[in-house]
Amino acid sequence: MKFEYIVRAKTVDEAYKKALDLYSALGEITMDKIINPGKKGFLGIGSVLAEIKVTVDDGKEDRSAKEVKAEKVEKPVAPKAEKPIEAPKAKKPAPVAEKQEKKPVEAKKPEKKAESAEKTAAPKQEKKKAPKQPKPEKEPLKNEDIKVTENEKVIAMNFLKTFIADIGFKCEVIGDLTKNEEGYVSRLVTIEGEDASNLIGHHGETLDAVQYLANLCLARKSDSDHKEYVKVIVDIENYRAKREETLRALARKMANKALERGRSIHLDPMNSYERRIIHSEIQKIDGVSTHSVGYDENRKIVITVDKKAK
């Protein structure tokens, strides 16, 4: 069989020698073609290797693939023994169903018919459950409905004493613990002393904050079932009464102004206690009414003029 190889070297002679060294062991080598004679170049620059094509004959016959396949002896495969074809089995005749004797139908008893007729005629009487009576709704409690006990009053007063001592003010906490006929005490707690006026703040904001903390402590430590409605009123230098009179005068003044102008007037934001005073005073004046707008700290009263007054 012959094999072709391409060999490269600096010159054609070197390429042929290289081919002899590489393939002489395989068989006889013959140079068939000089593909590229090569080029030395100048000082190695631009040099090109010589390239030749050689044929190596190993002396073996070149047999085609068909001849090689022909030499392969195929082993005869023993044919599979075919199963003898069995004659189809004769189907057994289906057994003829014996005629069953019909049993005489027994006549239904007339009593059962009568009972079924009565059942269909009379509708089923369902047991009606008695409607549940709605539970009487409890009226919402107001602060005025829940009185303060002596123990609760003492809780609020002790908190205020501790609070004032911690901030370093020189004040005294006074509370009337005299019981009335129902066994309750007054809700008013008064703070007096040199630094008492410093606890009032602008429009009583600081005083309201101190009162809120006292009632929060009272709600946590009270044993009453309605402890969230139990409230005490904290006052300093009769500020609550003075503020109430000021708010009532303001309500009358703004109502008259709304009637003169014939349009609504918005008041500054107030807390719930002060808004309640304004509402109650405006109700005494004809031709105007009030309602609240806004949320939380920005909630305020609007005085509107009735249509008839316009």
pLDDT in tens, 162-213: 999 999 999 999 988 888 888 888 889 999 998 999 999 988 999 999 999 9
pLDDT digits (tens, 9 = 90+) for 153-166: 999 999 999 999 99
Closest CA to 276 of 292, 295, 256, 263: 292
pTM: 0.48
> What are the domain boundaries of the chain?
2-61, 143-237, 240-305
What's domain 143-237's architecture? 2-Layer Sandwich (3.30)
Please indicate whether residue 306 or residue 73 has the higher confidence score (pLDDT): 306
Say if residue 289's pLDDT is above 80. yes
Q: What is the DSSP string of 80-114?
A: PPPPPPPPPPPPPPPPPPPPPPPPPPPPPPHHHHH
Domains 143-237 and 240-305 in one fold: no
Query: Residue 138 and residue 187: Cα distance in Å, rounded?
Result: 24
Least confident of 46-55, 56-65, 122-131, 249-258: 122-131
* Homologous superfamily (CATH) for 240-305: R3H-like domain (3.30.1370.50)
Report residue 91's pLDDT band, with 50, 70 and 90 as the boundaries.
Answer: low
The DSSP call for residue 25 is T
